[in-house]
Each structure stands twice: as C-alpha cells, then as structure tokens.
C-alpha cells in the first residue's frame, strides 16, 4: 500500500521513512515531490489538529491514496506557548530555520536556562479518499538552549535540548532522535491505531 505524506520537507520525510522502516511496516512512502502540482498546502487552522487534518484531506482527495500529514511545532512556556502552530513561519512569510531560531533566541534573551522549558508537539492525521480518518499524537519535552548546538536535523533542532540524553536534537543520531522525538512518538501512536483503522476499510 502507498501512503502519501503531505510534506515537501526532505528532513521530515526522511525521518518518517526511517521510522516506518524501524516499525517493519510494508508501506511505500511517497512525498509531495511525487506530486509536483500539489505543493504549499495552506495551514488555515488555529490548532495542530485542524492543520494536520486539513492537509491530510487535501492530499487524499488529490492523489486518491491514503494520506498522512502532520502539523508540528515548538511550544515555549516562557513565551506563552509561542511559536506554536506558527513555528515554521515564526520569523515571517519568507522564514528560514536560521531566521526562526534567531528570533526565538532573541525573544528569550535574559531568560535563565531552567526557565526555558519547551516541548515539540506533533499531531498526525491519516485520511482516506472516502474521508475516514484518525489522529495520532506525540510530545517531546525539553529546554531551549542559550546558543545553537550540533549540525544535524532541521528546524529548531540546534536549540532544543533533551536533558535525559544531555544532547541537543541536532547532536543526536537519527536513531536517538527517532526514539525520543515528538514525531517518533506520534508514529508509534499511529502504529498502535492503524490495525483497527485498516480493518475498518475492508
């Protein structure tokens, strides 16, 4: 079975493929690069759940295949939950990873390390062409660093510190990150829910 992942982010797609391989599933994972006319799906919702489901429905309707889409982001307690659903475009319409991290570190200037608690949150939506769907969720608790650390990963990984491993996300191997990450936890939640969902489709 094909599953189309509603993302053009190569780093995110690589993580999802690696996690599916670890789970031993037999799905063929396609990204939006296989559907060049389906790009830049808007995220009109005010919650991760709304955005993930909107993207999954759009992809399923367009491709005729089972779709999986996520909305994920960073919530920083000292900033009242910012950047939240705006994580990818935190620094503006032309946002980049560097620009987003720079804005985040600037907003946290003067905030002590142990008051910089944060979490990555991920919501996955799975949807069929007929509109059947379910949601899976994962959360990764951590702390925002005082400066960038590591050169792996993408997004906010260089400034997100996991105290249990004593590593920033960008310092972790792919296996370490998949074990800890919000997306890894959401995909394991997905794996637990998928059998009953798949049976309902037959």
Q: Which is the catalytic residue, given 33, 70, 71, 166?
A: 71
Where helices occur in the chain by DSSP H, the ranges are 10-23, 48-63, 97-107, 174-180, 182-201
Whether 189 is catalytic: no
Work out the angle at residue 37's Cα, subtended by the Cα atoms of residues 32 and 42, and round it to the nearest 5 degrees: 70
Q: Which residues are catalytic?
A: 71
């Amino acid at each position: 079975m094909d599953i189309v992942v509603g993302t053009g982010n190569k780093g995110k797609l690589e993580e999802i493929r690696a996690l599916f391989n670890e789970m031993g599933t037999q799905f063929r994972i396609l990204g939006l690069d296989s559907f060049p006319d389906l790009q830049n799906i808007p995220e009109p919702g005010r919650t991760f759940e709304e955005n993930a489901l909107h993207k999954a429905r759009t992809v399923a309707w367009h491709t005729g295949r089972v779709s999986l889409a996520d909305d994920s982001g960073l919530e920083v307690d000292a900033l009242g939950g910012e950047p939240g659903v705006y994580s990818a475009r935190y620094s503006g319409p032309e946002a980049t990873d560097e620009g987003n991290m720079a804005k985040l570190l600037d907003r946290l200037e003067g905030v002590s390390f142990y008051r910089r608690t944060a979490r990555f949150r991920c919501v996955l939506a799975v949807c069929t062409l007929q509109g059947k769907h379910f949601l899976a969720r994962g959360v990764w608790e951590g702390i925002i660093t005082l400066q960038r650390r590591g050169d792996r990963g993408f997004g906010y990984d260089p400034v997100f510190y996991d105290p249990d491993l004593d590593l920033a996300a960008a310092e972790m191997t792919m296996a370490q990150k998949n074990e800890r990450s919000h997306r890894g936890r959401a995909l394991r939640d997905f794996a637990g829910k998928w059998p009953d969902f798949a049976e309902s489709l037959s």
